[in-house]
Amino acid sequence: MTAAATPAHVVIDGFLGAARAGELMQFALEHESEFHQSRFYTAEREARVDTSVRDSSHLLELGPLRAAFSASVDAILAQLTHELDVGLPAETKKEMEMVRYGDGGFFKRHADAPPRPDGHDSVRALTLVYYFHALPKRFEGGALRLFSPDGFADIAPVYDRLVAFPSAALHEVRTTRCASAFADGRFSINCWVRRAREGQSPSPSC
pTM: 0.91
Are 118 and 199 within 8 A, CB to CB? no
pLDDT attached to residue 201: 46
Return the ∠ at Cα 85 (arms to 79 and 88), rounded to 5°: 75
H or E segment to which residue 27 belongs = helix 18-30
Are 45 and 118 within 8 A, CB to CB? yes
- How does residue 197 score in pLDDT terms, banded at 50, 70 and 90? low
Give, as one character, the DSSP assignment of residue 114. -
Q: How many CA atoms lie within 13 A of 86 on its CB side?
A: 30
Average pLDDT over residues 114-130: 77
pLDDT attached to residue 38: 96
Over the range 52-68, which residues count as b (16 or more CB within 10 Å of their CB) and which as e? ebbbbbbbeebeebbee
Are 153 and 9 within 8 A, CB to CB? yes
Integer CA distances (angstroms), 36 to 21, 39, 77, in order? 22, 9, 29
Measured distance CA(95)–CA(84) in Å, rounded: 19
Residues 6+ apart with CB under 8 A from 70: 94, 96, 191, 205, 206
pLDDT attached to residue 79: 95
Q: Please state, for a pLDDT cut of 70, what percent of the chain lies above it.
A: 90
Whether residue 118 has pLDDT greater than 60: no
- How does residue 148 score in pLDDT terms, banded at 50, 70 and 90? very high
Give, as one character, the DSSP assignment of residue 161. E
Domains of the chain, each with CATH number or no CATH: 10-41+50-196 (2.60.120.620)
Q: Tens digits of per-residue pLDDT, 75-100? A: 999 999 999 999 887 778 999 999 99
Whether residue 169 has pLDDT greater than 50: yes
Measured distance CA(180)–CA(146) in Å, rounded: 28
Q: Is the model more confident about 153 or about 123? A: 153
Average pLDDT over residues 113-141: 86
Q: Tens digits of per-residue pLDDT, 41-73? A: 776 667 889 999 999 999 999 999 999 999 999
User: SS3 letters for 56-113?
Assistant: CEEECCCCHHHHHHHHHHHHHHHHHHHHHCCCCCCCCEEEEEEEEECCCCEEEEECCC
pLDDT attached to residue 203: 41
